[in-house]
Amino acid sequence: MITDSLLLWGVWGHCVSTNDGLLVSTVLGRRILVRRAIEAERPARWIMQILEVKGGAAGPDRSAGSIVGLLVALRKALGVAQAGGRGLRIVPSGSPASPQPPRETQIRRTEPASSDDPESSPRELAEPTPVSIVTGFLGSGKTTFIRKVLRDPRFARIAVIVNEFGEVGLDHDVLASSSDALIQLSTGCLCCAIRSDLIETLLDLHRRRADGEVNFERIIIETSGLADPVPILQSLMTDKAVATQFNLDRVLTLVDAVHGPATVTTHVEARRQIAVADRILVTKTDVTEPSAALLDELRALNPNAPHAFAAHDAATLDWLIECDSSRDVRRAAEIVVLRDSAPRHTGSLETITFVSASPIPALALTLFLQALADHAGDRLLRVKGLIQVAEMPDQPALVHGVQHVFAAPEWLEAWPSHERHTRIVFIGASIPRRWPERLLEAVTEDVLEAQRLAFANAPSRPTAVSR
């Protein structure tokens, strides 16, 4: 665990197991001893001693009550900055001390809302508006896909945020327009050109809906071909106003079957677009069959994202947008377990899967997410998991994160299949293969040990004696 952490932090040196503990030596002259605490040193679980820092004298022992605390202290002692300079953020805002299941009053209305009743219009629903991201490199077919969405009457209650109106070519479909980059089409769909700031564009749409100017139930955002989607995902999750009103539902990435192999090899943006996808649509398959090399590359970058093929650009739009009750089951089922646990490498990115049959305490889950944010930081492109929480084993928790930002866990009604175990997928750059698994195991061990000691030291209650 310590050795993997040093690799993750980019610390040059070596670790040696001695009778006194694990000796960490770096090329900068730092020597630090790490060992487990003995019984007399409890409640501490770990002891760290600085033996030498650039020729200086040994420092006093420093205790840590958990592996999370030890890693933080070790980073400081080694002079390693926190990953990304930012800690864990769980959105929407609230205390991340322990993931809590949602209350019944927070889930949904007991009766469906009527679009004719202003008191029960979509803007008053408790659930945030789902937002889907459509991304893909230049020439992958995003504009064609967006045009099909805008012209399909089934999607009349959708607002689409595009980069440029001119690229979409909707002149003959425009029902009404305004001077501030918002148009309504004859299908009822809204089309909005992105402003200089995506957050302001989303909030402006929300204000217009609240004022009764427009009505929509879902938003689709088209990214530019050269855009790295990760900052967009972070914006949706970190801005308090946006996170309250909108919910990131899905990322669809389009990949060109003709130029895709060269694009993925040459451009890191294309690889990152694929790595964060929930679903991948391979386009232009009417021109050429997707090569085996391209499909292998897609599976290596993102083995959990289902694929579809768009011949003549006639993709099934329902594949992007699902508005029925099967949405949560679908999202959980997409977090699949690979037959082998070997990481998939492509370029500087890799995919790591973790499976555990043991339930995870809620506190351990929170501490694990905190440690991921603190120590992996910007190296983590995306984390998706279906977690069996010890306190609620019959209701799995969906966990989703982008770098140091994690959405609050979503609790499902039941497991989507007979496989009731934790499965987590990590997609990132230069992350030691076993580090996430070892970290979670160490954190869970700390929490279970603390719970055991608390139970053992709890005062016994008197037993009632019957007469």
Pick the range with the lowest mean pLDDT from 165-179, 262-276, 450-464.
Answer: 165-179
Task: Specify whether the backbone of 346 is left (phi greater than 0), alpha (psi in -120 to 50) or beta.
Answer: beta
Residue for token pair 């050429």: 288
Full strand arrangement of the beta sheet holding 182-185: 174-177, 182-185, 190-193, 158-162, 218-222, 129-136, 246-256, 279-283, 307-310
pLDDT value, residue 243: 85
**Look-up of token digits 């918002």:** 182
C-alpha span between 322 and 465 (Å, rounded): 60
| Alpha-carbon torsion, ordered 222, 223, 229, 233, to 10 deg | -50
* Domain coordinates in residue numbering, the chain: 2-81, 85-100+337-454, 121-329
Mean pLDDT value of segment 176-202: 56
pLDDT of residue 464: 58
In percent, the amount of the chain with pLDDT more than 90 equals 19
Whether the CB-CB separation of 7 and 432 falls below 8 Å is answered with: yes
- Using the predicted structure, report yes or no on whether residue 244 has a pLDDT greater than 70: yes
Distance CA(209)–CA(7), nearest Å, equals 50
pLDDT at position 336 over 70? no
Residue 261 CA to residue 290 CA, distance in Å, equals 9
Which amino acid, residue 376?
Answer: A
Q: Are 383 and 372 in contact (CB under 8 A)?
A: yes
pLDDT mean over 50-75: 82
173 pLDDT exceeds 60? no
Q: Which amino acid is at 311?
A: A
Question: What pLDDT sits at residue 315?
Answer: 52
In three-state secondary structure terms, 153 is helix
**CA distances to 26, 152, 252, 412 from 325, in Å:** 54, 22, 20, 11
Q: Across all residues in the chain, what is the average pLDDT?
A: 76
Query: Rounded to whole angstroms, how far apart are CA atoms 124 and 209?
Result: 10
Contacts of 301 (CB under 8 A, 6+ apart): 264, 271, 274, 275, 344, 346, 349, 351, 427
Mean pLDDT, rounded, for 66-77:
90
Quote the pLDDT of residue 169: 45
pLDDT of residue 334: 54
pLDDT in tens, 369-398: 989 888 887 788 888 888 999 999 999 998
Whether residue 48 has pLDDT greater than 90: yes
pLDDT above 90 (res 302) = no
Asked if pLDDT for residue 142 goes beyond 60, the answer is yes
Residue 332's pLDDT band, with cuts at 50, 70 and 90, is: low
CA dihedral 32, 33, 35, 38 (to 10 degrees): -120
Q: Looking at residue 159, what is its pLDDT?
A: 84
CA distance 300 to 271: 10
> Which of the residue ranges 17-21, 140-144, 319-323, 441-445 would you say has the lowest mean pLDDT?
319-323
**How far apart (Å, rounded) are the C-alpha atoms in residues 268 and 349?**
9
Quick one: tokens of 175? Answer: 């029902």
Distances (CA, A) of 261 to 267, 271, 299: 10, 11, 13
- Beta bridge partner(s), residue 132: 220, 250
pLDDT at 460: 66
Output the pLDDT for position 19.
92
**367 band by pLDDT with thresholds 50, 70 and 90:** very high
User: 0.75 cut: is pTM over it?
Assistant: no
| pLDDT mean over 410-427 | 85
Please give the structure tokens belonging to residue 413.
Answer: 């009604």
Upstream peptide bond of 43 is cis (omega within 30 degrees of 0): yes
Q: How confident is the model at residue 462 (pLDDT cuts 50, 70, 90)?
A: low
Assigned CATH for 121-329: 3.40.50.300
Same fold, 85-100+337-454 and 121-329: no
Using pLDDT thresholds of 50, 70 and 90, give the confidence band for residue 82. Answer: low
Residue 257 contacts residue 288 (beta carbons within 8 Å): yes
Q: How far apart are CA 410 and CA 245, in angstroms?
A: 16
What pLDDT was estimated at residue 458?
73
Residues 391, 393: Cα–Cα separation, whole Å: 6
pLDDT for the residue 24: 92
pLDDT at 17 over 50: yes
Query: 85-100+337-454, what's its fold?
Result: Hypothetical Protein Yjia; Chain: A;domain 2 (3.30.1220)
pLDDT classification of 148: cutoffs 50, 70, 90: confident
Q: Tokens representing 166?
A: 């001119």
Distance between CA atoms of 202 and 204, rounded to whole angstroms? 5
Contact 55, 47 (CB under 8 A): no
List the beta bridge partners of residue 360.
Answer: 389
